[in-house]
């Protein structure tokens, strides 16, 4: 029986783009969130600097899935950006980590997300076992939230 009190496993998750579940993602690298620091000191302060909080920064979200014959949606999403259709290209995205029963446990939401990079599969005829063709996207966004 699964340990309901321990940490969640990383292998059960879903990706939603504009509220629609998109299947097939094998790897999702969730971005780190950090705050810039600024040093400040007034003339009458001691000889050390104070650390003040600056703006919040996010790393990129990266996602990888198996390439499918009749699904060019990631490529087309990136293509809309290439064509200058930024408003069409901005989407709300969510990554939902599931518990052992397939129920949503933790949700990360990304607003105004768009793909800054699309990587097609690397083809290798010498790969042992034939390999799997995967495509990936690097996503930037305005804000990341983890709603309770």
Query: For 103-130, what is each residue's pLDDT tens digit?
Result: 999 999 999 999 999 999 999 888 887 7
The answer on pLDDT for 45 being more than 80 is no
Query: For 46-62, what is each residue's pLDDT tens digit?
Result: 777 888 898 899 999 99
Q: What is the pLDDT of residue 47?
A: 78
Domains of the chain listed by start with CATH number: 13-41+49-145 (2.30.110.20)
Beta bridge partners of residue 62, listed in sequence order:
29, 138
Residue 89, number of CB atoms within 10 A of its CB: 19
* Position with higher pLDDT, 72 vs 43: 72
CA distances in angstroms from 88 to 30, 78, 85, listed in the order given: 23, 11, 5
pTM of the full predicted structure?
A: 0.84
Q: What is the pLDDT of residue 1?
A: 47
Q: Rounded to the nearest 5°, which phi and psi values hold at 86?
A: -65, -40
Note the helical H segments in the chain.
73-82, 86-89
- Contacts of residue 74, Cβ cutoff 8 Å, sequence gap at least 6: 65, 115, 118, 135, 137
Beta bridge partners of residue 108, listed in sequence order:
95
């Amino acid at each position: 029986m699964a340990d309901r009190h321990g940490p969640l496993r990383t292998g059960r998750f879903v990706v939603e783009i504009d509220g629609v579940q998109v299947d097939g993602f094998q790897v999702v690298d969730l971005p780190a969130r950090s705050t810039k620091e600024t040093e400040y000191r007034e003339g009458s302060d001691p000889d050390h600097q104070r650390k003040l909080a600056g703006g919040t920064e996010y790393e990129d979200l990266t996602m990888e899935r198996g390439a499918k014959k009749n699904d060019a949606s990631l490529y087309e999403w990136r293509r809309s950006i290439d064509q200058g259709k930024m408003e069409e290209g901005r989407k709300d995205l969510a990554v939902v980590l599931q518990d052992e029963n397939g129920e949503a446990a933790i949700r990360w939401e990304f607003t105004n997300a768009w793909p800054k990079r699309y990587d097609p599969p690397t083809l290798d005829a010498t790969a042992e076992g034939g390999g799997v063709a995967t495509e990936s996207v690097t996503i930037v966004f305005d804000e990341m939230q983890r709603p309770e």
